[in-house]
């Protein structure tokens, strides 16, 4: 298949970027989207042109590094997948595909399609620690956790911090990310001790990083590759009110 690409090119965060058009022929429909970009970069290198910088690591939908905004959707318009899990068979022959980086003040462009998402790491760091008693290992069944709480905690913990929720939100809010990271601890007894402090410090850091405010449009959950529910945001709001008293 033949593909027309319109890719955002930007040398660094201090210069103005622009879209550049590329044509790619003989694309295998079974290629992943990132493999197609590998093919394009090989072509650019052979022509002695600067290859397109894009972020990637595991290519298994685990790390969340493959942050591309594809035809107006974070990670593309296929629901519940990351960019590395998106395949070229989802597109049609001679289709034009527009690819750009996450658009958020908190995610400055490093180069081309790579953005600096360390603001999410700083939010996590601000959450502090979880208190555990030291000594010999405790029996696995000593702390009783209901199946429902365990499943909800694991579901929230599946957030990979890719930033798709921020990119999808018209306000560039990180509430789904922060809500998921707080929720995964709040459902477990180990996370209860520092709960109030954790909520306040993480929300404070989120504001400090210049993320926008949540207006509950639901775009974040709709575009989340791990399908994190909006319930984590409502839970965060309730817990924040409780922690204020």
For domain 3-100, the CATH superfamily is: Beta-grasp domain (3.10.20.30)
Q: What is the pLDDT of residues 72-115, one digit of tens each?
A: 999 999 999 999 999 999 999 999 999 999 999 999 999 999 99
Percent of the chain exceeding pLDDT 90 equals 86
Phi, psi for 122 (deg, rounded to 5):
-70, -30
Structure tokens at 168: 């999808």
At 142, the pLDDT band (50, 70, 90 cuts) reads confident
**Mean pLDDT across the chain:** 94
- Please report the pLDDT score of residue 113 as a whole number: 98
Query: Does the pLDDT value for residue 158 go beyond 90?
Result: yes
Q: What is the pLDDT of residues 20-59, one digit of tens each?
A: 999 999 999 999 999 999 999 999 999 999 999 999 999 9
- Please report the pLDDT score of residue 244 as a whole number: 82
Q: Tell me the CATH number of domain 118-243, given options 3.40.50.1970, 3.50.50.60, 1.10.1060.10, 3.30.390.10.
A: 1.10.1060.10
Bin 235: left if φ > 0, else alpha if -120 < ψ < 50, else beta: alpha
**Sequence spans of domains, the chain:** 3-100, 118-243
Span 137-149, average pLDDT = 81
Two domains, one topology: 3-100 and 118-243: no
Whole-number Cα distances in Å, 153 to 7, 98, 157, 180, 231: 38, 36, 6, 9, 12
- Please report the pLDDT score of residue 145 as a whole number: 87
């Amino acid at each position: 298949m033949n593909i027309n690409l319109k890719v955002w090119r930007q040398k660094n965060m201090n210069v103005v970027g622009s879209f550049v058009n590329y044509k790619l022929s003989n694309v295998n429909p079974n290629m992943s989207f990132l493999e197609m970009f590998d093919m394009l970069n090989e072509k650019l290198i052979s022509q002695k042109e600067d290859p397109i910088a894009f972020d990637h690591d595991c290519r298994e939908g685990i790390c969340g590094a493959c942050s591309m905004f594809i035809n107006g959707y974070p990670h593309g318009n296929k629901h519940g997948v990351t960019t590395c899990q998106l395949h070229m068979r989802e597109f049609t022959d001679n289709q034009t595909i527009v690819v750009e980086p996450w658009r958020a003040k908190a995610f400055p462009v490093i180069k081309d399609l790579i953005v600096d998402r360390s603001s999410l790491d700083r939010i996590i760091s601000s959450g502090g620690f979880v208190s555990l008693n030291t000594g010999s290992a405790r029996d696995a069944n000593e702390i009783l956790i209901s199946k429902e709480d365990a499943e909800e905690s694991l579901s929230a913990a599946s957030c990979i911090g890719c930033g798709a929720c921020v990119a999808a939100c018209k306000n560039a809010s990180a509430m789904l990310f922060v809500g998921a990271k707080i929720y995964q601890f709040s459902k477990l007894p180990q996370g209860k001790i520092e709960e109030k402090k954790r909520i306040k410090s993480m929300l404070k850091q989120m504001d400090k990083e210049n993320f926008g405010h949540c207006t509950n449009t639901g775009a974040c959950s709709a575009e989340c590759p791990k399908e994190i529910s909006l319930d984590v945001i409502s839970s965060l709001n309730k817990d924040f009110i409780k922690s204020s008293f």
